[in-house]
Structure 1
C-alpha cells in the first residue's frame, strides 16, 4: 500500500512519514519541542472527543499561516503537525484522565519513556524493621503475648515474640504501576484514533500500531 503524498507550497511532493502513535508523540514533544497548551473544558463531564478536536481545528486554523517544516528544526519553529498532535493530547477527555493524563503523556513522550510497569517485580517477604550493631543485623521483634511454661518443676511466664514482616515490592504497588500503564495505553488509543479520524496531519501518517497491551502478561508467558 502506497503512503499518501504531501504537496508542498513549492509544488513538489513528499511521502508522508508513517509513525505509530507513541513514535508520533515522541517526535512532536521530544524532537519538535511542542508545548502542551491545556484548554479549559466548558463541561467537565463531556466524553468522547469533546472539546479536544474542536480545539485542534482551531489550532489548525491558527497554524495556517506557517510554512511547511522539514525534518530538522529551524530556530524556534515547531512543525505544525507537532502542534496538532500536542493539541490532540490536550483534549484527552476526563473519563481517560483529562488534564492530568495529558501532562503525563506529554512528559513521557518528551523523555522518550514508557510507563514503568515494574517488569520482573515479585513480592518478597522481608522483616518490617532490621536492627544493626557490631554483631551484624537482626530482625526486630515485638511481644504478641505471654505463655506459661514448666521449667524444672516451676511455672514461669515467658513472652511470645513475633517478627513483623512486609512484602517488597508490595503487591498493591505492582498493581498500581500496571493500572497506570493500562490507563496510559488507553489514552494513546484515543489519541491515535483522533489523529487518524481527524485527518489534520499533513506530513505525518499515524498508523494503527500501539505499544504492547499488558506487557507483563507477555513476559509471564515467555518466562
Structure 2
C-alpha cells in the first residue's frame, strides 16, 4: 500500500491523516526515504543508549531551520513529519533494544515487512544424518552399547544401535523468533505513544492501531 500523495508534503493546514504506527513508519522510511540518525554517546566506550523525547525535540527544532529541503536528499524534499518519526525511532531506549532495535524497526519499515515469527512452524523429529546410496536413504546409526543374547544355543555379544535424532525447526528457534517479534511489537508501542503524546507531527495523526501482538495465537 502506498502512502505517497496522502500526506500534505508542505506541512500546511490540511486535515491530518490518521495512520497506525506501522503505516506511519513505512511512509517515513519507505516513501519519504527518511534516514535514521543514531545519536552518539558522549563516552564512546559506553554501550549505553537511550535518548527520549528530549532528543526528538532538539531534532525537531533543527528541522524548523530547514523546512525547505531534506537533510539527506539533494534536490528532493523529505517531509518534516518523516524526519520527526525517524528521530523518534533513533531515540529507542536501552530497555527496548536501543540502537539495534532502532535499526531493525527502520529496516523492516523500508522493506514493508514484519519480523518473521515462523508462521506454521512445527518441530519435526528427523535423523541427524542420512546416508544415500543406490538403494535409497537410510538413517545413520551409532553404537550405544552391547547386549549378550542367546542365539542358536550360543551366547553372542551384539551391538545396540540407535539413530540420533533432532528437531527441525528446533523449538528454541521458534521461541526466539517469536520473542523477537514481541520485542519489535513493544518497540512499536513505544514509538506510537511517543509520536501521539509528543504533538510534533503536523500532517499525520498516529492512531492506536497496532499489529497483532501474538499472531501465532489463534483466538
Q: Shorter-normalised TM-score: what interval? A: 0.7 to 0.9
For residue 58 of structure 1, report the CA deviation from its aligned partner. 1.2
**50-59 vs 108-117, which deviates more?**
50-59
For residue 75 of structure 1, report the CA deviation from its aligned partner. 4.1
- The equivalent residue for 2:129 is 129
- The equivalent residue for 2:207 is 207
**56-65 vs 190-199, which deviates more?**
56-65
Q: Which runs of 5+ in 2 are unaligned?
A: 1-7
- The equivalent residue for 1:51 is 51
Deviations 1:191-223 (A, max 9, x none): 0000011000001100011111111112xx3xx
Q: Is the 8 A contact 1:16 1:203 kept in 2?
A: yes
Does the alignment pair 1:33 with 2:33?
Answer: yes
Higher helix proportion (structure 1 or 2): 1
Q: What is the rounded CA distance, in whole Å, between the counterparts of 1:200 and 1:68 in structure 2?
A: 17
SS at match of 1:132: strand
Q: What is the rounded CA distance, in whole Å, between the counterparts of 1:18 and 1:138 in structure 2?
A: 59
SS at match of 1:216: coil
For residue 45 of structure 1, report the CA deviation from its aligned partner. 6.0
- The equivalent residue for 2:20 is 20
SS at match of 2:122: coil
Q: What is the rounded CA distance, in whole Å, between the counterparts of 1:44 and 1:96 in structure 2?
A: 14
For residue 44 of structure 1, report the CA deviation from its aligned partner. 6.4
Q: What is the rounded CA distance, in whole Å, between the counterparts of 1:88 and 1:52 in structure 2?
A: 8
Does the alignment pair 1:198 with 2:204?
Answer: no
- The equivalent residue for 1:62 is 62
- The equivalent residue for 1:77 is 77
- The equivalent residue for 1:160 is 160
SS at match of 2:63: helix
For residue 151 of structure 1, report the CA deviation from its aligned partner. 1.1
- The equivalent residue for 2:90 is 90
- What number of residue pairs does the alignment pair up? 205
For residue 68 of structure 1, report the CA deviation from its aligned partner. 7.0
For residue 40 of structure 1, report the CA deviation from its aligned partner. 2.3
Q: What is the rounded CA distance, in whole Å, between the counterparts of 2:87 and 2:13 in structure 1?
A: 26
Q: What is the rounded CA distance, in whole Å, between the counterparts of 1:62 and 1:103 in structure 2?
A: 22
Q: Is the 8 A contact 1:66 1:80 kept in 2?
A: no
Q: Is the 8 A contact 2:19 2:206 kept in 1?
A: yes
Q: What is the rounded CA distance, in whole Å, between the counterparts of 1:15 and 1:24 in structure 2?
A: 16
TM-score by length of 1: 0.86
- The equivalent residue for 2:179 is 179
Over the aligned positions, Cα root-mean-square deviation in angstroms equals 2.1
SS at match of 2:52: helix
**190-199 vs 34-43, which deviates more?**
34-43
- The equivalent residue for 2:149 is 149
